[in-house]
Structure 1
């Protein structure tokens, strides 16, 4: 026997249940004549009459009643299964993998996740802290977090943080032994704590700007580190000057544990962005994460 289309069986159930081609056709969204033709074709393929038709009514035959008893629960189960798939598609869930540098992971991602995840237990987020510029596709990441100026042009970029400022800082104990620098060039006479860039393996050149003047200074010192926590501990211990994100040391500055210099040479610049491939089709979970991170002034 030729395979019967599921839609034809759904059509039969509608007519047998409604006892009317007109009502069943309206329910399905086809014309009564088209529905009648569908049922006649189904009966022809089965070799059985399923419906008794009169000018005033439609009723299932004995074969039709038997098919309806068998077919009804099966079709209901299919409808339930399809509805469940729809719920899964709409229900926020699944794992989202993000690569982020240490600073935004701590200052932006974690606070947002603290607000989001308790309300959506089916969402899982894996954050890989890495200060290098990883390939999202090759690394199978859903998104990355970087400064706006580091995001490739072919990516969708969503701003997730305010403008950022850098700060040249030192401990009072350090400045008790050394004069405060007045210009970025003065830093060459100071013991500066360098940080090694993971991307190139080189030392980071401190970048300054004032008006239209831009300047990079390659500083020297006795200590080189590659993590922000170690850098902050070293500068608090008076081992030298450091160039850090302002928000990382704001508490120390306000408490007087650190002193800021050259503030007029450190203007704000665009902050962090969440970025992902433009061809990515956002899932409900990913869309929720984007909205939770989106920066609102």
Structure 2
């Protein structure tokens, strides 16, 4: 193979992963024209198009899909070996691509990232906010963050948070206007802030506990959002009842901006986990992130244990 073709194959892989020339250029630190030149050179050497281009999208051709299927494992091996050599000198480096819902930042990631920036300055953590269930391998991510119950069994999972409850909240202003629900059936008469994932058309049914049994409750209201943080903001403005993970609303409840409703109906969720294919755990940049996450979780647990226990 011609020697100069190898470096251009990494560019081709980035364009396929990012589904665009400009996005690939940003990832690689190159100009869009340089990315375009690299792809054009590979296509000329191969004698066929790798990408089908329109003014709005870039997609792999059949030949491009075959090429990427063949070269991706080898390119990944090369990148991993370079990272291992760097790590042998005591420093992890490279770009760590994570796929996570927006709520993962306040619940877990922000504190981890503070330590990553300080202790591993050569690692760039590139986070794509995604409320759906991404194919992290197929879409080129190193790892994802999701609730434990949403992770496929063939993935390695590392806990990022302790389990937490899913609760109902509303502002004092909303409750003064529309009253307070006394049981689950009362929710039908309230403005419930709905949730619909970006990749789903169906509204999420609120999972609650009634008489010791889990129930899925269909709700209705004038507002629907695609992420929990938006629901939190709208609830604080008095626009309806929100279904949220308790840590997201904890400060607002403590300071009186929100009120927890129907506390007996709250269910416990397993918490957030980092997940990735087993092979990825060999990557020094991912190992650095995992070690940092575990250290932060120990710190959080120690801080929680040191707090005075609330009296019944």
Q: TM-score range by the shorter chain?
A: 0.5 to 0.7
Could you say if the C-alpha distance between residues 268 and 86 of structure 1 is closer, same or farther in structure 2, counting changes exceeding 3 Å?
closer
Q: Deviation string for 1:212-258 (max 9, x for gaps)?
A: 40111111112222233432232122222111121112121111121
Task: Tell me what 1:291 maps to.
Answer: 291
Task: Tell me what 1:191 maps to.
Answer: 191
Measured in 2, the distance between the counterparts of 1:117 and 1:177 equals 46
Task: Tell me what 1:153 maps to.
Answer: 153
Task: Tell me what 1:215 maps to.
Answer: 215
CA RMSD in angstroms comes to: 2.0
Q: TM-score, normalised by structure 1?
A: 0.67
CA contact (8 A) 2:197 2:227 kept: no
Could you say if the C-alpha distance between residues 190 and 202 of structure 1 is closer, same or farther in structure 2, counting changes exceeding 3 Å?
same
Q: Deviation string for 1:174-195 (max 9, x for gaps)?
A: 2113332222222112121112
Q: Deviation string for 1:94-145 (max 9, x for gaps)?
A: 2111101111133311210101222222111111111111111111111000
Could you say if the C-alpha distance between residues 211 and 154 of structure 1 is closer, same or farther in structure 2, counting changes exceeding 3 Å?
farther
CA contact (8 A) 1:185 1:217 kept: no
Secondary structure in 2 aligned to 1:102? coil
Q: Deviation string for 1:131-178 (max 9, x for gaps)?
A: 111111111111000000000000001111111211211111221133
Q: CA deviation at 1:211?
A: 6.2
Measured in 2, the distance between the counterparts of 1:241 and 1:85 equals 48
Measured in 2, the distance between the counterparts of 1:259 and 1:268 equals 19
Measured in 1, the distance between the counterparts of 2:158 and 2:281 equals 15
Task: Tell me what 1:177 maps to.
Answer: 177
Task: Tell me what 2:102 maps to.
Answer: 102
Secondary structure in 1 aligned to 2:125? strand
Measured in 2, the distance between the counterparts of 1:225 and 1:241 equals 13
Could you say if the C-alpha distance between residues 274 and 168 of structure 1 is closer, same or farther in structure 2, counting changes exceeding 3 Å?
same
Task: Tell me what 1:275 maps to.
Answer: 275
Could you say if the C-alpha distance between residues 197 and 112 of structure 1 is closer, same or farther in structure 2, counting changes exceeding 3 Å?
same
Q: How many residues align?
A: 214
Q: CA deviation at 1:281?
A: 4.6
Is residue 167 of structure 1 aligned with residue 167 of structure 2?
Answer: yes
Measured in 2, the distance between the counterparts of 1:206 and 1:87 equals 48
CA contact (8 A) 1:100 1:130 kept: yes
Measured in 2, the distance between the counterparts of 1:85 and 1:95 equals 10
Worse-matched range after superposition: 134-143 or 111-120: 111-120
Measured in 2, the distance between the counterparts of 1:158 and 1:86 equals 21
Task: Tell me what 1:131 maps to.
Answer: 131
Measured in 2, the distance between the counterparts of 1:107 and 1:290 equals 16
Measured in 2, the distance between the counterparts of 1:226 and 1:281 equals 31
Q: Structure 1, unaligned stretches of length 5 or more?
A: 1-83
CA contact (8 A) 1:99 1:144 kept: yes
Measured in 2, the distance between the counterparts of 1:278 and 1:87 equals 20
Secondary structure in 2 aligned to 1:220? coil
Larger Rg: 1
Measured in 1, the distance between the counterparts of 2:281 and 2:204 equals 37
